Amino acid sequence: GHGEGRMITAISDEHSSGVESEGLINSMRDYLPKAEHRMCARHIYANWRKKHKDQKLQKRFWVIAKSANREDFNYNKAKLAQLTPEGAKDIMKTDPKHWARAFFPIGANCESVDNNLCESFNNAIIEARFYPIISQQEKIRKKMMVRVQEQKTKSEKWNGIICPNIFKKIKANIKRTQFLEVLWNGKDGFEVKHLNSRGMRYIVNLEKWTCSCGYFQLAGLPCCHAICAIYKSGRKVEDFIDKCYYIDTFKKNY
């Protein structure tokens, strides 16, 4: 079960080394030893940017953070090193295994590299924070009750199988397939090649729901390579999307 934190992903706001950070790490180890502990890449970037202020470096940082496998991570880090060798060294000092997608373990269907969800929640309860504890909890309770009802009402208007925000991600990945070439072994194995100067090749296995790019098994959503393979085999994309992204699952949660 989830008692020890299995299938739970916790994302901390900051990558700091003080008593607060140490206490959080110790608590995670004591109470949720099986949980994955990530650091918010946006906070990592904010600290890294204090020393490396060139705006050109911002895009390179986020490409590194969102690289879904070690090979792409190392390639993009090398591209950064061409612009700023010191900046690339400083990135490695921040312990990327806690904030770079290439190092995330699979299983939680969570590819997030930032903590925006928690920050959105904190902004929603900012007024309640100024009240005494009982009044504060009552205000949060009411706000959550309204939120649940709003989500229920919203989901009743949705059509199809997949939640709208997830469908947008799938559409974006479908668009990327126009720059790919796919070879099929006649069963569940596919080789997908990028039609660009780098010409990267990735291996897709539809039976195992995996792609060597790493994204398919990390997010529980087919990457552009997997979608190419799905189309080549004549199957449906929605059959390769984890059920946690289904509209029916969303409705059950509310």
pLDDT at position 194? 94
pLDDT of residue 116: 84
4 in a structural domain: no
**pLDDT of 72:** 94
131/81 same-domain check? no
Quick one: 183 and 147 in the same domain? Answer: no
In this prediction the pTM is 0.83
Task: Tell me the C-alpha to C-alpha distance, in Å, between residue 129 and each of 39, 124, 136, 139, 146.
Answer: 24, 10, 6, 9, 18
141 plus 98 within the same structural domain: no
| Residue 251 domain-assigned (yes or no) | no
How many other CB atoms sit within 10 Å of the CB of residue 223? 24
How high is the pLDDT of residue 188?
83
Q: Give CA–CA dist 198/153, Å, rounded.
A: 47
**Would 112 be classed as within a structural domain?**
no
Q: Residue 113 falls within a domain, yes or no? A: no
Per the CB < 8 A criterion, the answer to whether 240 and 230 are in contact is yes
Give the structural domain span for 20. 9-103
In a domain, 206, yes or no: yes
Residue 1 is assigned to a structural domain of this protein: no
Tell me the CA distances in angstroms from 212 to 58, 70, 78, 155, 192, one per residue in order: 26, 10, 20, 34, 10
- Amino acid 19: pLDDT: 46
Per-residue pLDDT at 171: 97
Q: Indicate whether 85 and 20 sit together in one domain.
A: yes
Does 197 reside within a domain? yes
State how many domains the chain has. 3
Average pLDDT by consecutive 10-residue portion of the chain (254 residues)?
Answer: 69 58 72 84 94 94 96 96 96 93 88 86 89 95 94 95 97 96 90 89 96 95 97 96 96 91
pLDDT at position 18 is 47
Q: Are 13 and 43 in contact (CB under 8 A)?
A: yes
For residues 194 and 236, membership in a common domain is answered with yes
Q: According to the model, what pLDDT value does residue 2 have?
A: 56
Q: Do 74 and 137 lie in a common domain?
A: no
* Residue 64 falls inside a structural domain: yes
Domain co-membership, 185 together with 211: yes
Contact 250, 157 (CB under 8 A): no
